[in-house]
Amino acid sequence: MKRIGMLTSGGDCQALNAAMRGVAKTLFNAKEDVEIYGFLDGYRGLIYGKFRMLTTADFSGILTKGGTILGSSRTPFKLMRDPDENGLNKVEAMKQNYYKLQLDCLVILGGNGTHKTANLLKDEGLNVITLPKTIDNDLWGTDMTFGFQSAVDIATDAIDKIHTTAASHGRVFIVEVMGHKVGFLTLNAGIAGGADIILLPEIPYDIDKIVDAIKLRHDRGSRFTILAVAEGAISKEDAKLSKKEYKKKLENSIYPSVSYEIAARIEKKSGMEVRVTVPGHTQRGGGPCPYDRVFASRLGSEAGKLILKGEYGFMVGYKNREIVKVPLEDVAGKLKMVDPKSSIVKEAKLLGISFGD
């Protein structure tokens, strides 16, 4: 008998259900006795013992379903060692619930913070396998995360739709794309959507360079300009501030987000009309695209195979077009960021895209 625990932690995204389905179908098809316990609302379920047994029926019809059938929550890693409001030791509680159910393994689906806690549990002696979930594609040790391509499709569609109204009114449009620390989503959606300017957290911008790029397009006869701006885009001036100073500046800002500040600065310097569109959480919503359905299914299947072989302590990742297993300690606490000197950035610049630098 194999007893498996499963949970989804952090922000939701497309293909979480597809990945869990991949794990479950692989285990159920192995002709072994298997029990799968789904912990509800992420690590909270594991901490407080909230779970339900999942059957084959639970995994039927969820390949194309967005979100997560188990629910999710954010439980910051930095607070994991701190007792809760009632004095409960969260780490010990998770271990006790793991052992109480006599689990052979815990399958954890999540992003950076999730993997830090997963590695903590592994170091505490639990058998853990993880799957890389995030629309930001910022997990170390894998070339791709599931949810990323679906989010790229949605963000690209938003940019596509802005083109017609921008051209009709002859305006400058900013489309704010998700990504506080990492710009893979904005970079890919910006290129795919034909954005003229792309602003990323990894490449601090100069507002004068942005205005120059807009004016150059105008002088060449273009009636409009579209900017794809990551929500974590930062100016060269702000990049020189300490984290504490920059956080204070954001707290005291009169603007809802960085895109509105950029819009105001462009209007002031150029006299042009600027509009901001924020697709927001739609980028994480809806069903997974076909790529993510296939990709998440493959990752889930490989996780199931590792469980059957008794190989634990790994994240199932993707390297050089192959599914691989990556030691959890090599993943936890590391962030994969856009390299400003990478070939994709250089190629985007050859296409005439400005990064404001």
Residues 248-299 have pLDDT tens digits of 988 889 999 999 999 999 999 998 899 999 999 999 999 999 999 999 999 9
Residue 40's φ and ψ, nearest 5 degrees, are -90, 140
User: 2-147+288-331 architecture in CATH?
Assistant: 3-Layer(aba) Sandwich (3.40)
| Residue-level pLDDT at 31 | 76
> Is the predicted pLDDT of residue 46 greater than 80, yes or no?
yes
Give the whole-angstrom CA distance, residue 313 versus residue 79.
Answer: 22
- Quick one: CA dihedral 216, 222, 227, 228, positive or negative? negative
Query: Taking all residues of the chain, what is their mean pLDDT, rounded to a whole number?
Result: 95
CA distances from 152 to 136, 166, 183, 236, 319 (A): 9, 21, 11, 26, 20
Beta bridge partners of 333: none
Evaluate whether 42 touches 74 at the Cβ level (below 8 Å).
Answer: yes
Residue with tokens 């007792």, as numbered in its chain: 83
Prediction pTM value: 0.94
Q: How far apart are the first and last CA of the chain?
A: 58
332 CB-side CA count, 13 A: 20
Q: In sequence order, what DSSP letters do the residues of 285-312 get, joined into one string? A: -SPPPHHHHHHHHHHHHHHHHHHHHT--
For residue 74, name the pLDDT band (cuts at 50, 70, 90).
Answer: confident
Evaluate whether 46 touches 97 at the Cβ level (below 8 Å).
Answer: yes
Give the whole-angstrom CA distance, residue 115 versus residue 314.
Answer: 10
Q: What is the share, in percent, of the chain residues with pLDDT greater than 70?
A: 100
User: 151-284 architecture in CATH?
Assistant: 3-Layer(aba) Sandwich (3.40)
Cβ neighbors of 227 (< 8 A, separation 6 or more) are 172, 173, 174, 175, 195, 196, 197, 198, 199, 210, 262
| Domain boundaries, given as residue ranges, for the chain | 2-147+288-331, 151-284
Give 282: exposed, middle or buried? Use CB within 10 Å, 0-12, 13-18, 19+: middle
Which of 338, 250, 10 lies closest to 147, judged by CA? 10
| Residue-level pLDDT at 142 | 97
Q: Do domains 2-147+288-331 and 151-284 have the same CATH topology?
A: yes
> Is the predicted pLDDT of residue 192 greater than 90, yes or no?
yes
CA distances from 241 to 250, 280, 355 (A): 12, 27, 20
Using DSSP's 3-state secondary structure scheme, residue 130 falls into: strand
Give the whole-angstrom CA distance, residue 318 versus residue 338.
Answer: 17
Which of 157, 84, 108, 147 lies closest to 4, judged by CA? 108
| Residue-level pLDDT at 32 | 78
As annotated, the active-site residues are 136
Give the whole-angstrom CA distance, residue 90 versus residue 94.
Answer: 6
| Residue-level pLDDT at 281 | 94
| Residue-level pLDDT at 75 | 86
| Residue-level pLDDT at 308 | 96
